């Protein structure tokens, strides 16, 4: 039966894993995603799943085992954060190129140094060119729903891609909130069974994965990945609508909040959007036409939809929870590029906030909207909540 439980982002993700009951999970502990494999280990130990749970000796081995298990034909899930994600870096593009579906609970945490266990998006942003789908979740409910939805997206015949399901470390992963959970059998029916096209375990039709490819073919193979990633933009809404029919919850690529007639829009990802949306409501009550665009799908980047949502605004601020030191912060760079390609010359203020788990307060959003309304848009990056 569907249930409503007070749970955390990590536990909600683990609960989705229990219901999905994947063939293989290979995982290694790291704060703040450790709860996911811990909770899952309980499910294994108590017979709640019959997954083959591989307790590897490092994140590098975790993702390697996930890739080879997926190539073998298994449905595969895992989770990690921060330095663990960075250790996996070498293998991510291999997973992308092999077109091996993997649903990966990425609990965002900043990369050292300095070492720090709290949230920012520097870990996942460092993997933005790995050839994975990147979905960023606002809360525990969304992390749960996205885990289930992503199984279908990853294994879709036109996609065949690994998927990062990102949630904010501690803020979402360890915050407890009410989450609506689906019926076990409904999840089972929705995800179905994986039918791999070229499984390594098909002994009678042997395949070679990971061959040595020189300049004559390498470029063409990478180009095929570009096309497959474009397919995500076409396929995603259909999968999300099927999930809506099951759950009553629809998750678009972009969560546009009161943007239709907005003059001033703040673009943000993940949990900080809740704060921005509250401030939007507050300002709307005062007659200020404020809006919030939450980017849920970062890879592939839905550039045309972003430009359409933002193009009519007078000024925009983009909030990044990651730096691109010496360059433009990742989300701001994407937004500016999308607007340029659409021929829209809206002033864009790039802001970095919340690094290393620094809190994001409503006052930062209020001040930002005031600056946009007053035409105070700087060419340089701003740092919200920085003590200096």
Q: Which residues bind another protein (CB under 8 A)?
A: 23-24, 26, 50-52, 54-58, 60-62, 64-74, 76, 90-91, 94, 200-203, 206-214, 217
Q: Judged by CB, which is closer to another protein: 65, or 147?
A: 65
Q: Judged by CB, which is closer to another protein: 26, or 351?
A: 26
Q: Which residues contact 266 (CB under 8 A, 6 or more apart)?
A: 276, 280, 290, 291, 292, 293, 316, 317, 318, 319, 365, 368, 369
Q: Judged by CB, which is closer to another protein: 49, or 239?
A: 49
Q: Judged by CB, which is closer to another protein: 209, or 383?
A: 209
Q: Judged by CB, which is closer to another protein: 46, or 211?
A: 211
What is the Cα–Cα distance from 42 to 29, expressed in whole angstroms?
14
**CB of residue 67 to another protein, shortest distance in Å:** 6
**CB of residue 59 to another protein, shortest distance in Å:** 10
**CB of residue 112 to another protein, shortest distance in Å:** 20
**CB of residue 63 to another protein, shortest distance in Å:** 8
**CB of residue 248 to another protein, shortest distance in Å:** 31
Is residue 52 classed as helix, strand or coil in its secondary structure?
strand
What is the Cα–Cα distance from 320 to 241, expressed in whole angstroms?
29
**CB of residue 378 to another protein, shortest distance in Å:** 43
Q: Which residues contact 242 (CB under 8 A, 6 or more apart)?
A: 152, 190
What is the Cα–Cα distance from 316 to 322, expressed in whole angstroms?
18
**Residue 48 DSSP one-character state:** S
**CB of residue 23 to another protein, shortest distance in Å:** 4
Q: Judged by CB, which is closer to another protein: 188, or 366?
A: 188
Q: Judged by CB, which is closer to another protein: 209, or 361?
A: 209
**Residue 378 DSSP one-character state:** -
C-alpha separations of 59 from 30, 164, 215, 346 in Å: 9, 15, 31, 42
Q: Judged by CB, which is closer to another protein: 57, or 227?
A: 57
What is the Cα–Cα distance from 232 to 229, expressed in whole angstroms?
5
**CB of residue 34 to another protein, shortest distance in Å:** 18
C-alpha separations of 217 from 58, 131, 211, 222 in Å: 33, 18, 11, 9
Nearest of 39, 37, 83, 44 to residue 60 by alpha carbon:
83
Nearest of 300, 359, 363, 368 to residue 334 by alpha carbon:
300
Residues in the chain: 388
């Amino acid at each position: 039966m569907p249930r409503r439980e007070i749970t955390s982002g990590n536990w909600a993700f683990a609960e989705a894993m229990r219901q999905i009951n994947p063939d293989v999970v290979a995982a290694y502990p790291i704060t703040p995603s450790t709860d996911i494999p811990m909770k899952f280990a309980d499910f294994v130990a108590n017979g709640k799943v019959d997954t083959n749970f591989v307790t590897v000796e490092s994140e590098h081995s975790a993702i390697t085992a996930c890739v080879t298990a997926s190539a073998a034909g298994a449905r595969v899930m895992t989770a990690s954060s921060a330095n663990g994600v960075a250790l996996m870096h070498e293998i991510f593009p291999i997973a992308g190129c092999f077109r091996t579906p993997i649903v990966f609970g990425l609990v965002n945490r900043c990369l050292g140094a300095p070492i720090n266990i709290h949230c920012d998006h520097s870990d996942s942003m460092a993997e933005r060119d790995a050839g994975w789908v990147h979905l960023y979740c606002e809360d525990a409910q969304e992390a749960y729903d996205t885990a289930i939805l992503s199984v279908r997206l990853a294994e879709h015949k036109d996609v065949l891609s690994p998927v990062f399901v990102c949630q904010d470390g501690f803020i979402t992963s360890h915050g407890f909130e009410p989450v609506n959970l689906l019926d076990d059998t409904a999840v089972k029916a929705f995800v179905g069974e994986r039918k791999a096209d070229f499984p390594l375990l098909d002994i009678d039709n042997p395949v070679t994965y990971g061959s040595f490819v020189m300049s004559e073919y390498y470029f063409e193979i990478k180009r095929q990945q570009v096309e497959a990633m474009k397919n995500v933009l076409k396929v995603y809404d259909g999968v999300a609508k099927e999930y809506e029919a099951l759950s009553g919850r629809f998750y678009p690529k972009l969560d546009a909040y009161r943007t239709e007639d907005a003059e001033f829009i703040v673009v943000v990802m993940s949990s900080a959007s809740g704060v921005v949306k509250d401030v939007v409501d507050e300002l709307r009550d005062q007659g200020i036409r404020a809006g919030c665009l939450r980017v849920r799908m970062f890879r592939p980047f839905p550039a045309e939809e972003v430009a359409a949502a933002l193009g009519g605004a007078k000024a925009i601020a983009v909030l990044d929870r990651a730096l691109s030191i010496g360059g433009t912060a990742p989300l701001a760079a994407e937004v500016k590029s999308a607007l340029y390609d659409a021929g829209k010359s809206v002033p864009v203020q790039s802001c970095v906030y919340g690094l290393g788990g620094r809190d994001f307060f409503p006052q930062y959003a209020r001040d930002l909207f005031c600056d946009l309304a007053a035409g105070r848009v700087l060419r340089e990056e701003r740092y919200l909540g920085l003590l200096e």
